[in-house]
Amino acid sequence: MVRGSHKTFRDQLSIAPLGARLQVFRDVAKSKGQNVQMFTRRLRGMLKNGKTNRVTKSHKTFFEVLPETKELFRESMGENVIWFAAPSAPNHLHTLVADQGGGTTLTHNTYGAQMKEASIPRMQYMAPAQINNAQMARFTKYLNAGVEAGQSNKKQVYGFKNSRGKWIYETACTNWATSAPIGGLQRWAKRVDTQVIKAAKSGGLGVEFKDGLHSALSKAADGPARQALLKKALKAPGMSNHTKASARRLVKEFDVILKNFPKRPPELVARKTLSEIMGVSRSQDPAKWMYDLMLSKNVPVVGVIATEAHADFKNMEFDLQIMGKFNAKGNVVKSDGYKKDGLGIIPPERGGAPVATATN
């Protein structure tokens, strides 16, 4: 296998789909005399579509990572991927990130302010969020800002406003990562940038606006400097009243976010969150987040990281506590931790998923 320092190989991995990476992982492990257990299974459960819960089915490839294959996993499956790991009956979440660009460490982060090398102390489920180069660069900046701020000051980096308009600073083990603002600009902010860049190219605005109003605002020293930029932008030719209103909204967004989270990198203002990128609702409960990711069609593979090989891996069940349990046929059934009035909803009986197909 080409080692992680090979730039061409790393560039190819950074955009490769997870299914292709998994095949590389398995093939290289086999060449070294190591077996990566795998099976495919179609899961059937309930996901929220708008305000309605609907039955959904998704085909997954499950694979196993052991201590002897952890480094190969990092090399082949880690580029531009955030892996969320939770123990059986998820009551806690870890975020695993491989060093990008050929680094040699798989880092483990629990609360967004502490980093250490990942180990395999016990069995955990792993669900991936695959993102692109720009999104990964923003996530790394976001993560590093929290680590630099430290545990006592991480509230100056991590947090969000919930659907009820309340600011949330207690991010627990899931909220800090699921609410990470690392995606593209929100549609309304992107619309402003399009007009500002157009005006800058035609000479209607200065060179400081060549990358858009958002970029200029993120480099501004403080609130008054942002107001000065806004005043210039509003005078640009061709700016509609609607676009001007969005420009004012963007400046206000910078003021509000940086007031509440003064140590957050400014370039992360007005961006889509990781949960929006994945098309999965942000969740404070690890069991619900893992359940939603496992059922999401944006997640083609699911890992199991363990201290030793599972004796009957192809028939393994996945206990997701309050959400229920994925049995060997892929159906969600009640588990010991399932609560009738909780978040989990068991799909109605309508046949069921086929028996798992082993690929060992």
Confidence band of 351 (pLDDT split at 50, 70, 90): very low
Confidence of residue 344 (pLDDT cuts 50, 70, 90): low
pLDDT at 3: 45
N residues, the chain: 360
- 173 confidence band (pLDDT: 50, 70, 90): confident
Least confident segment among 168-177, 332-341, 350-359:
350-359
Q: What mean pLDDT is predicted for residues 282-305?
A: 91
Region 20-34 average pLDDT:
96
Enumerate residues 6+ apart whose C-beta is below 8 A from 283: 174, 178, 275, 289, 292
Q: Does residue 29 surpass a pLDDT of 90?
A: yes
With a pLDDT cut of 90, the percent of the chain lying above it is: 69
Position 354 scores a pLDDT of 46
Q: Is residue 178 over pLDDT 80?
A: yes
Q: What is the mean pLDDT of residues 85-109?
A: 89
Report the alpha-carbon distance of residue 45 to residue 56 in Å, rounded. Answer: 6
Phi then psi dihedrals of residue 269, to 5 deg: -70, 140
The H-or-E segment that residue 95 falls in is: strand 94-98
pLDDT at 359: 56
Whole-angstrom distance, CA of residue 172 vs CA of residue 195: 39
Helix, strand, coil percentages for the chain (3-state, nearest 5): 40, 20, 40
Question: pLDDT value at position 47?
Answer: 82
The region of weakest confidence among 130-134, 287-291, 346-350 is: 346-350
DSSP 131-163: --HHHHHHHHHHHHHHHHH-GGGGGGTS-EE-T
Residue 88 Cα to chain centre, angstroms? 20
Instruction: Determine the Cα–Cα distance for residues 225 and 219; give it in Å rounded to an integer.
Output: 9
| Between 323 and 230, residue with greater pLDDT | 230
Q: Burial code of 144-160, b = ≥16 C-beta within 10 A, e = fewer? A: ebbbebeeeebbbbbbb
On the CB side of 267, CA atoms within 13 Å amount to 16
pLDDT of residue 77: 94
Q: Tell me what pLDDT residue 345 has.
A: 67
C-beta separation of 271 from 186 below 8 A: yes
CB atoms within 10 A of CB 312: 8
pLDDT confidence tier of residue 353, bands split at 50, 70 and 90: very low
Sequence spans of domains, the chain: 7-136+275-358, 187-260
Q: What are the tens digits of pLDDT across the range 182-207?
A: 999 999 999 999 999 999 999 999 99
3-state secondary structure of 266: helix
For helices 187-201 and 241-260, what crossing angle results, to 10°? 120
For residue 343, the model assigns a pLDDT of 62
39 vs 10, residue with greater confidence:
39
pLDDT, tens digit, for every residue of 149-166?
998 999 999 999 888 899
